[in-house]
Each structure stands twice: as C-alpha cells, then as structure tokens.
Structure 1
Amino acid sequence: MAGYNDMPDEVVDVAVLEDLRTIRLRKRPLGAPKADEVQLQMNCVGICGSDMAYWSKGMAGGFVPLDFSEEGLGQGYCGQMGHECSGTVRAKGAQVTNLEVGDRVALEPGVPCSDCKLCRLGRYNLCPKMRFIGSAVNRVPGALCRKFNHKASYCYKLPPNVSLQEGAMLEPLCVSLQGVTRAKVGPGHHVFVSGAGPIGLMTAMCAKAAGAATVTVTDMVDAKLEKAKEIGADFTLRADTPNLAQALERLIGEQFDMSFECCGVPAALNSCIQVTIPGGVVCVVANLPQSIPLDLQTAVRHEVDIIGVYRYCNLYPRALALVASGKINLQPLISKSFPLEEAQKAFEHFASGEPIKVLIQANAPEDCAV
C-alpha cells in the first residue's frame, strides 16, 4: 500500500481552460497527499452550468470575469475546473482512518475552515474561507485531471450498488436536496420547478422523494420535458405557453405550495412568485443576474417567502442514501461520457443545449456503470 511519506511527486495530465471555449490537455506536478488527505485516481467528472458559463463567457454567478491575459494568468488562475466528481483511493495520508486504498468515493468539493461562526452554526456552505475545488474565482485547482489530492473527511465511500457515475452526480443532487430541504417540501405538497436542466430534474426527484403529491416542470426544450416525464414529473409544460401562470394552475386545479427557480431566467422567477400560494415558498436555486426586475409586491402582499440556495451542507450522506436505496435514480440523466483527452468536445456537446448531464472520464471507466 502506498503510504504518506514514500510517494514522490509526479506529473499528471490536466484539462486546462486557457481561453474562452478553449480547453487543452497539459501536464502539471502533483505531490503526495497531506496527512489528512487521500490521493485519488479520478474516474468521473461532471460538467455543470457554472463550468459551462466559465468556458463560454468567462464568468458565472455574478463573480468577476476571468482574465485570460498574460497578466491575469500570472495572478494565479490555474484554469483547472471540475467539482462534480468521483474517484478511487490510490494512496492516503498518515492520519487517514476512514478510507482504504481501493475504496471508491464521491468528493464533496467544498472544504470549509471549520472555525468561523457560520461553520460552528452548521452552515459551512456559507464559510467565507471555503476552499471549493475547481473554483476559477478562488483559484483552487479542480478535479478534471488524472489524479487529485483531497481531504479525506470530505470523501464518501460508495457502496457496491452505487456507480462512480452516480457518485460524481451526488454534488448537483445535493444542490437540489438543499433547496427541497430549505423549502420544507413534504407529503401532499404541490411543487413547481422552472427549468428541466440537471438541477431542475434533480429538484423534481428530491421533491418526489420527500413525498410531494405532484411535481410540475417547465422548460423551453421538448426533449428535456420528455426527460422530466421519464424521471417522474406529474405534469410538464413549455415555458413559452401563453398565460403561463394560469395554464400552470389549471394543471393541478390550484396554486403551488413551493416553487423552485432552476433555469436562471429573471422572468421565470416572477412566474414562480405568481403561481405560488399565499404563504408559500419560492426557492431560488439557479444563478441569476445581479440585478433583475422582480414582482416583489405580489410576494410581500401574499407573504410568499423567497429563499436562496448556495451549494449545500451536511447533505452528502443523505443524498448517497437516497441513491443507494433506489429512491432516486440518476442514471437516466446521463447523456454522454467523454475521455479526458476529449474534454473540449465534451463542453462543445454540452453547449448544444439538449444534453442533461455530460461526464468526463479522467481514467479508464473501471466500474463507472454498475
């Protein structure tokens, strides 16, 4: 077994964003894992909406745009994305006791400081010192590479019946689970989801798993609405339907208890407010522009609570249990997989608009599909 002190540095292949819409394979040094880390052979890495935004526009979520100039790159931007990921333990640090070499794991990408007030309150997703891998803003290298070191306490061992593909998809599932948990979806609730991308579809899955009576999904892409039906949505409707709010209410005969904005379109957030029952909840899951016109008066007059979601906290074990038990099946969301050498093609494919979840296999597939 490879140990903590006997591992030399090595050079590994890394997919690097070097300019807008330009990813190239480069080689970078990787040291031995620290005492509290494991070294992983990366298997599956998913492309998320934020990755796509950085690839196509150089910015995401209202953060400062990337500077691809020589001066900007000199400030430390590494261009190494990838935070939806799974891998196999190949070595471990001296202090690691929860994992063994050969274990297949899902990585929780955010490692908080554990000392600040928010961490101590249990809301470590809001930690101001969070090190989130693959973050272009914080310049923390991501997992879109052959091998990667990560803190062992933020790696979760996968049971035999959960594939490495599913392990990589636990990260976006936790985003959706955070929204459903914060909105307190429960048995008998009528839920509306705006947007049938990966997060929207996973939000629908989490709502159904929580006992929602009905889940209704809207989108502009017919293929995604078909996928919503496949994964258990009770009703679907095109988002460009005339008089959308009235059409949605006719589907279930009343307004919705909870609405989730998962597409990042400002007008969709106002639709969520309009179709939510007085006293209900609107949960904003998607990234939106920093300033948008908002029907705040309706929300105030109806005492609709508008809540936000920023990543997740304390949810990886729950998400893994939902997948392992079969209550949530992530396999239908996988559109296509690409090898690391074709990372650029993977992003181009995702940019076509219809794929749900595109995965990059950083190494040989192993048991990526159970």
Structure 2
Amino acid sequence: MRAAVIAEDRSIDIIEIPDPTPGAGEVRIRVSRSGICGSDLHALHNPRYPSGAVMGHEVSGVIDELGSDVTNWQVGQRVALYHGTPCGHCSTCRAGHSHICRNHLDTALGLGTVQGGMAELIVVNHTLLHALPDDVSDEAGSVAEPLAIAIHGVVKGQVDPDVGVVVLGAGPIGAMVACALRARGSERVVVVDPNPLRRAAMSTMGFAAVDLEDVGSSVRGHLGGRPSVVFECSGHPTAAGLAVSLADSAGRVVLQGVPLEPVALSQFAVVQKELDIIGAASCTPSELDEALQHIQAGRIPVEQLVSVVAPLSEAGRYFADLTHGDGRHLKVQLDPTA
C-alpha cells in the first residue's frame, strides 16, 4: 500500500509499505480521509518520530477486514476513529483520566510507534471505531476527532452559554473551539487573530473576528465587557499572557495551544483577578460521539472548516504550505483513494 512517511531529511515521502493485517480484536480500515494536525507538523522535525513513521490520527474510512474476536462490526461499515488505546494500568488511567494516559505516545495513532492514517490502510483496535451515519461525509468524519478536542476544552472551561468568550487563534483548533462553543449554545464569541485571511474565514462562519491591534477595546466592544472565559488556541508564546490580561475577574483561561518555548504571564494578574488557569489536551470517546452528533445535526460548518481535500501524493506540498504558508488553510485532509 501507499503511505506518506517521514523521510530521512525530515520531509514527506510517498512510498510503498506492506499491507497491515488485523490481529485478534483488530480491524483493518481503508482510509477515506486523514487530516493534517498541528501536532503532525511539529512531529516532522521531532527526533522522537523516526524516519519511516506514518503520521495521522484524524481518520475516517471503511472497514476492510475483521480480525478474530470482532463480532460487533461488519466489513463495509463507515467509521471515524478515536486516536488511541489507553494502557489501562498507569496512574493516570487508574485515576479515571485515560484520555491522557501516561503511555499514550506508545499507543496512539501516528505518534511514531503505531502507524497513523496517512496511508491507504490502517489497522486499529475495534474499540477505536465510531460509526459514521450515512448522512455524515468522509470529510466530516475526519473532522470529528479535532472537533472532539475542541469540545473537551469547552467542557473543561465550564462555559455558561450566556457569558462572553474569547478565542485566541483562528487556526484549526481555534476555529473548532469557536464552532464547538456555538454548537453548545454560546452566541457571544469573539475570535482574535492577526491574519486577515483567517479573520475573514471566521467572519464567513458568522463569528466576530478582530485583530490584535487595540484588542482589549475591540473585545469589550463586541461583548459589552471583559470575557468570562478565554481560550488560548494559537500556541504563540505571548498568547497566554494576553489571555490573562483579557479575562475578567474570577474568570477562566483555557490553554489548548502548544507553544514550543516557555511562556510568560502575569502571576500578579492571575492572583488579583483570581483566575482559573486550565490545561486541556486530547478528548474522550464520549466527546467524539458528541462531535458526531453536532456534525449530523448541521451545527458544524464542515465545508468551511475543511479548506482542501488533497491526494495522498500531495502530502509533502501541504505539510510545507501549512508550516510556511500564509494561513489561508484551516483544515487540510488527505485522500489516499485519489
């Protein structure tokens, strides 16, 4: 089968690798769509991910073959995939937080050890499967996993639908956080991004979108006051500090961006305003189910979130564009069937 792999020079190669075979409790999926995530972009230059690794964890596809002991699924069923199997025995799993299993780097799809979805076929444990309704597209099925991560942040932020909310960053996760907020009933949402193309995209989706210039006044003008909750989704080193400065007293700051260097924020402001600082990573299987429910109900503008569906052969081009481009793309998905 064809797969997009990390090359020795840390570029993307399209090569032929052996077809995987499902074992007991596993199924083989013929991949329909595999989204490129920000974590994939970071992984390309992370030595933990060896050359030859197949990335990709935002996957939809069709069951192609069943391993032994799999009785509740059928060949030909369309599915979306959860991203990994928790180990079940680490202290985090035992404490009921298996979505952030301490051993997830060894078990999650496309993280350097287990093959990911940027290939024609992928073998996964049957517990990762979520059925795709007939009226949910392949593109939407691939969007479900990152949307579930956005939902997880909204859940952790305990967002009351009546309060004002700011989302910093209109990249894929920021855009999906805004959509998740609206799907859950929030209407007073302002998205902040310096990129005019991304602001335009958010405006097209019906959100108030403002620049960084005089951002405090712009946000207060749209919301009629300071936001009760601020989501940091950009990963920029200055954004956590901005989130703290924007948040109202007794508010919450949810950190979902992943900066590649330490960040600075005013602890004085955190203390004086009694802010809650919350980290949010990953998602739970039930949140992926919720994502699919919102998608099926038409509450998520999938066609606007997915900028491009490209053949697998063009993976290298889009990795480069997402890393060094002008930000015009929100979500790029690869189609191994093309």
Q: What TM-score range do you get, normalising by the shorter chain?
A: over 0.9
Q: Report which stretch shifted further, 329-338 or 277-286.
A: 329-338
Q: 1:225 aligns with which of 199, 202, 213?
A: 199
Task: Show CA shifts across 1:187-238 (max 9, x none).
Answer: 20111000001100110011112222300001111111111122231x2111
Q: Is the 8 A contact 2:240 2:264 kept in 1?
A: no
Where in structure 2 are the equivalents of 1:317-332 lying within 5 Å? 317-332=289-304
Q: Secondary structure at the match of 1:135?
A: coil
Q: Which runs of 4+ in 1 moved over 6 A?
A: none
Residue 349 (structure 1) aligned with residue 325 (structure 2): no
Q: Secondary structure at the match of 1:331?
A: helix
Q: 1:200 aligns with which of 159, 171, 174?
A: 174
Aligned length: 333
Q: Secondary structure at the match of 2:7?
A: strand
Q: Secondary structure at the match of 2:309?
A: strand
Q: 1:40 aligns with which of 14, 24, 29?
A: 29
**Structure with the higher strand share, 1 or 2:** 1
| TM-score, normalising length: structure 1 | 0.86
Task: Show CA shifts across 1:318-359 (max 9, x none).
Answer: 111111111223221111121112221222333312111111
Correspondence for 1:98 = 72
Q: Is the 8 A contact 1:44 1:360 kept in 2?
A: yes
Where in structure 2 are the equivalents of 1:244-323 lying within 5 Å? 244-314=215-285, 315-323=287-295
Counterpart Cα distance in 2 of 1:213 and 1:24: 43
Q: Secondary structure at the match of 1:266?
A: coil
Counterpart Cα distance in 1 of 2:218 and 2:21: 58
| TM-score, normalising length: structure 2 | 0.93
Correspondence for 1:127 = 101
Correspondence for 1:180 = 154
Correspondence for 1:146 = 120
Give the residue type in structure 1 aligned to 2:15: R
Q: Say if 1:289 and 1:15 are closer, same or farther in 2 by CA, change over 3 A.
A: closer
How many angstroms does 1:105 deviate by? Answer: 0.5
Counterpart Cα distance in 1 of 2:134 and 2:290: 17
Q: Which runs of 5+ in 2 are unaligned?
A: none
How many angstroms does 1:280 deviate by? Answer: 0.8
Counterpart Cα distance in 1 of 2:172 and 2:14: 26
Give the residue type in structure 2 aligned to 1:248: V
Task: Show CA shifts across 1:287-334 (max 9, x none).
Answer: 023422211210111111000011112311111111111122322111
Give the residue type in structure 2 aligned to 1:236: A
Counterpart Cα distance in 2 of 1:269 and 1:288: 10
Q: 1:115 aligns with which of 85, 89, 108?
A: 89
How many angstroms does 1:260 deviate by? Answer: 0.3
Q: Secondary structure at the match of 2:228?
A: strand
Task: Show CA shifts across 1:86-124 (max 9, x none).
Answer: 110011122212311101110111110123343244311
The RMSD of aligned alpha carbons is: 1.7
Give the residue type in structure 2 aligned to 1:292: V
Give the residue type in structure 1 aligned to 2:257: A
- Identical columns (%): 31
Give the residue type in structure 2 aligned to 1:208: R
Q: Secondary structure at the match of 1:270?
A: helix
